[in-house]
Structure formats: C-alpha cells, structure tokens
Amino acid sequence: MAILYRTGFVPRQISPLQLMQVDAGAGHGVMAIGMAGLSGSTNLLALVTLPKPSFSYAPFQATLLGVPLVGNVIADGHAVMAELRNSQGVVIVPNLSVGVAGADVDLNTLDMLAGENVTITDGTLTLTS
C-alpha cells in the first residue's frame, strides 16, 4: 500500500542518534512549546526542562521519560508546535506536533496564559531506525 502525502509535506525523519543530542551537553535539554513560527524566543510560550536521559528507546520509538513534566508559561497564546533543544538552546528536533492526546507531545492544555504552568503528559516519537 502506498503512502500519499499532501503537496509540500515532507515526513519528519528522527534518528536515535539525533535525538540523543538533546542530552549531549552538560546541562539538561528542554522542550520549547510555541505558536506557529516558533524560533528562538519568537512565538515561544513555555520551556519545560527535560530529565537526563530524556528518552527511553525501543525499535522505531522513543518515549519521553519523567512525565508528567511541568514548566512555566512565559507568554499568552495557543500552542501549535514544540521543538527539542539541547542545554545550549540548539534546536535538535523541530516541528513536533502538540495536542491534548495523540500528538508527538501531549499537553494538559493548548491555551496558555503567562504565569501559569503547562504539563507534558506524554511524549512518543517515531524513529527512523
């Protein structure tokens, strides 16, 4: 059976070695949660510090460890994406989907208000090998 993608869609490829770079620095990696166009601090809604190691690995799957994980919301907005960054702030895996269930990163809410908390309730990524 063929897999058909919509025009302009490129399936995300994540390798275990790429994902392990989240933990490669001296400090902890973070999950940046944001609005469309998330880049650095632009459209950033929240940062959640990840445990070290951040993921457990099985064939073709990585599961976020330590959930639930709580972070501070720093701006008001509606979350539509997330990215994994290492301890130096370098983006390791961009364009992760967010939702309240069934996304790459599941959150307790997508509507964020500065000064409140956001909770990552689950995180499961499909790996290339």
pLDDT more than 70, % of the chain: 90
Average pLDDT over residues 24-41: 95
pLDDT computed for residue 13 by the predictor: 80
Which runs of E-coded beta strand occur in 11-108?
30-39, 42-49, 55-58, 61-64, 69-73, 77-78, 81-85, 91-96, 98-99, 105-107
Instruction: Write down the domain spans for the chain.
Output: 16-126
The one-letter code for the residue type at 49 is T
pLDDT in tens, 62-118: 999 999 999 999 999 999 999 999 999 999 999 999 999 999 999 999 999 999 999
Confidence of residue 8 (pLDDT cuts 50, 70, 90): very low
